[in-house]
């Protein structure tokens, strides 16, 4: 599913990724402010490399998911939060 994801498809994509849970190409993180850009870059790099090795279209780093409950928190990191985006899932395809 490379390229831009339509808003109508985002819910079903997120549901599918949550159902499959984490693997070499999908990583969920709680949406907190404890990630440096360097740390996020390392995740992007690792997920992209794994997706490429497994001949997948994308790797996913998704913020706002609790590892224990696997529940979605609907909270963006502080740096990305705006009133317009307050309830948007924070998915990054790389």
Domain ranges of the chain: 9-93
What is the pLDDT at residue 1?
44
Q: What is the mean pLDDT of residues 48-74?
A: 83
pLDDT score recorded for residue 78 = 54
Rg (CA), the chain: 13
The dihedrals phi and psi of 85, each to the nearest 5 degrees, come to -105, 10
Q: Can you point out the beta strands (E) in 1-94? A: 26-29, 60-63, 90-93
pLDDT at position 21 over 50: yes
pLDDT greater at residue 83 or residue 17: 17
Q: Does the model's pTM come out above 0.85? A: no
Partners of residue 62 on adjacent β-strands: 28, 91
């Amino acid at each position: 599913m490379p390229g831009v994801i339509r808003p109508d498809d985002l819910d079903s994509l997120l549901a599918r990724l949550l159902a499959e849970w984490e693997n070499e190409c999908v990583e969920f993180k709680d949406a907190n402010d404890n990630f440096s850009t360097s740390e996020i870059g390392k995740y992007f790099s690792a997920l992209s490399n794994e997706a490429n090795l497994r001949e997948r279209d994308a790797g996913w780093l998704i913020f706002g998911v609790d590892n224990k409950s696997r529940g979605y928190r609907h909270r963006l990191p502080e740096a990305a939060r705006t009133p317009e985006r307050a309830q948007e899932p924070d998915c990054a395809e790389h």
